[in-house]
């Protein structure tokens, strides 16, 4: 089965700084997504990462705060910009297009972010 990796696995950052999270898949996939999971909460979709074009953001999320790149069918990055303590969350990438039932999303291991 395909492997999805994320870097870093966790980080502690100072407010006002930015962090870029990488998501790498070892096979080509059709769709990639970025989710945020705040402490004790469910997952919320940030955006769909589109290959070769601008990401599609969900309501409440903007490109200036969460710039996303997807240069090819196996890699994407999410940047959390100008961080505040409210950005402390688990950030997860997911992909569609691997084995399994249609529309099945497989997730990376997540990035735990703590902002001080």
* Residue 6 or 82 with smaller CB distance to other proteins: 6
Stretch that binds other proteins, among 17-25, 34-42, 64-72, 78-86 (CB under 8 A): 34-42
Rounded CA gap, 100 and 66, in Å? 30
- One of 19, 21, 33, 87 touching other proteins (CB under 8 A): 33
Helix or strand holding residue 106 (H, E)? strand 105-107
Query: Which stretch in 13-21, 29-37, 70-78, 79-87 sits in contact with other proteins by CB under 8 A?
Result: 29-37
State yes or no: residue 43 binds other proteins (CB under 8 A).
Answer: yes
- Distance (Å, whole) CA 77 – CA 57: 14
For other proteins, the binding residues in 56-115 under the rule CB under 8 A are 56, 90, 92, 94, 96, 100-110, 112
Beta strands in 8-99 (DSSP E): 10-13, 19-25, 31-37, 44-49, 56-57, 68-72, 75-80, 89-96
Q: Count CB atoms within 10 A of the CB of residue 28.
A: 13
Round to whole Å and give the CA distance between 45 and 59. Answer: 9
2 binds other proteins (CB under 8 A): no
Name which of 14 and 42 has its Cβ closer to other proteins: 42
- Where does this chain bind other proteins (CB under 8 A)? 31, 33, 37, 41-43, 45, 48, 56, 90, 92, 94, 96, 100-110, 112
């Amino acid at each position: 089965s395909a492997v999805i990796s994320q870097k870093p696995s966790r980080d502690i950052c100072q407010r006002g700084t930015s962090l870029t999270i990488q998501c790498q898949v070892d096979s080509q996939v059709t769709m990639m997504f970025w989710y945020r999971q705040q402490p004790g909460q469910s997952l919320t979709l940030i955006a769909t990462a589109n290959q070769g074009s601008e990401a599609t953001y969900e309501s409440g999320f903007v490109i200036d705060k969460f710039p996303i790149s997807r240069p090819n069918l196996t890699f994407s990055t999410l940047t959390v910009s100008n961080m505040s303590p409210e950005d402390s969350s688990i950030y997860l990438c997911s992909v569609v297009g691997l084995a399994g039932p249609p529309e099945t999303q497989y997730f990376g291991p997540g990035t735990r972010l703590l902002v001080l």
